[in-house]
Structure 1
Amino acid sequence: MPQKSKGSRQGTRKKLTKKERERGAIPVTRSIREFEEDDRVHIIIDSAIQKGMPHPRFHGKTGRVLEKRGQAYVVEVTDKNDKKKLTVRPEHLKPQQG
């Protein structure tokens, strides 16, 4: 019997699928977006961009920006009572309103 794939995107058929009108090239403003330290951000994975993509378990989570590292940001997220640091590019981040 063939073995099940254990890739990093396993089990994400629905989670990483875009709606029909969201497909295609992304706006340039999303990739040059700037965040400051201590900003609260939502992690919304854009499946069209594989670079700097966090693990799908963090999709929809909210975290705090700790620092900028190259083009990406280090975001602290709580995952089951643990604080985890993720390196995420700005295409996968959305500022929290308010």
Structure 2
Amino acid sequence: MRHSHGYRNRSRKVFRHTPRTRGYGGLSRLMYEYKVGDYVIIDVNPTFIETAPHRRYQGKVGKVIERRGRAYVLEVRVGGKIKKIVATPEHLVPAAQPGGAT
């Protein structure tokens, strides 16, 4: 039987929680306010899969370019192209600025 090529294809290992990290993370990750120009790491939280970006962007560093509702629009370089990703704060972690400044 042919396998599915769906949106979450081959993502079992990527979107897996270890038993210690199951459930909601912490409030600090949800309440963190990002400003335009901040750099963030896309870390998909499988608890909130409806608002998750595609697994191709897992671990990528992006720059916040605007706020859209309670989500953020990020600029992510993939290969030679710049992509715009819409992600909610559950899937974002603050990153250090390039060049050493935090």
Same fold, judged at TM 0.5 (above): yes
Gaps of 5+ in 2: 97-101
Task: State the match for 1:7 in structure 2.
Answer: 6
Instruction: Give the alignment of 1:73-92 within 5 angstroms.
Output: 73-92=72-91
Structure 1: unaligned runs, 5 residues or longer: none
* SS of aligned partner of 2:28: helix
Structure 1 residue aligned with 2:31: 32
1:12-55: CA deviation from partner (whole Å, max 9, x where unpaired): 11111112200023323322321000000000000111132100
Q: Give the AA of the match of 2:56.
A: R
What secondary structure, in the 3-state scheme, does the structure 1 residue paired with 2:5 have?
Answer: coil
Give runs of ≥4 in structure 1 deviating > 6 Å.
none
Q: Which moved more, 1:45-54 or 1:62-71?
A: 45-54
CA RMSD of aligned residues (A): 1.1
Distance in 2 of aligned mates of 1:5 and 1:31: 33
Q: How many positions carry a matched residue from both structures?
A: 97
- Give CA deviations for 1:38-74 in whole Å, capped at 9, x if unaligned: 0000000001111321000000000100000001000
Residue 41 (structure 2) aligns with:
42
- TM-score between both structures, scaled by the size of structure 2: 0.88
Percent identity of equivalent pairs: 36
Which stretch shows the higher mean deviation, 56-65 or 27-36? 27-36
